[in-house]
Amino acid sequence: MNLTGDLDDAVHQRIRLGMLAVLREVGRADFSFLRDTLELTDGVVHRHLKVLADAGFIEIEKGYEGRRPRTWAKLTSAGKTALDKEIAALKRIVAHVERVAEA
């Protein structure tokens, strides 16, 4: 039995999982909000946003707020589905561990 077979490598990494969870909650977030909320560096945020965008799980929008350049991320429907599947897979793993511990 492969307990981790349903985990998606693009989602499961803790930073990307955190980003998807934050975006699921707020809908759309700018780069600095993600950086500050998840307590990451700029380079780490950039790298993981790229992975999620390349996977089609988020959309990146660049623009300006006043004179300041901004980058926003928004969860796509594919991202919502991937997050839901990841959570379901994690729940199955936890349920299995709990069953084994009770036996």
What mean pLDDT do residues 68-78 have? 96
Show the 3-state SS of the chain: CCCCCCCCHHHHCHHHHHHHHHHHHHCEEEHHHHHHHHCCCHHHHHHHHHHHHHCCCEEEEEEEECCEEEEEEEECHHHHHHHHHHHHHHHHHHHHHHHHHHC
Residue 103 has pLDDT above 90, yes or no: no
What's the CATH number of domain 9-102, 3.40.50.1860, 1.10.10.10, 3.40.50.970, 3.40.50.20?
Answer: 1.10.10.10
Q: What is the reported pTM? A: 0.90
For the stretch 13-65, pLDDT in tens is: 999 999 999 999 999 999 999 999 999 999 999 999 999 999 999 999 999 98
pLDDT band at residue 3, thresholds of 50, 70 and 90? confident
Instruction: Kindly list the domain boundaries of the chain, sorted by start residue.
Output: 9-102
Q: What integer pLDDT is reported at residue 1 of this predicted model?
A: 64
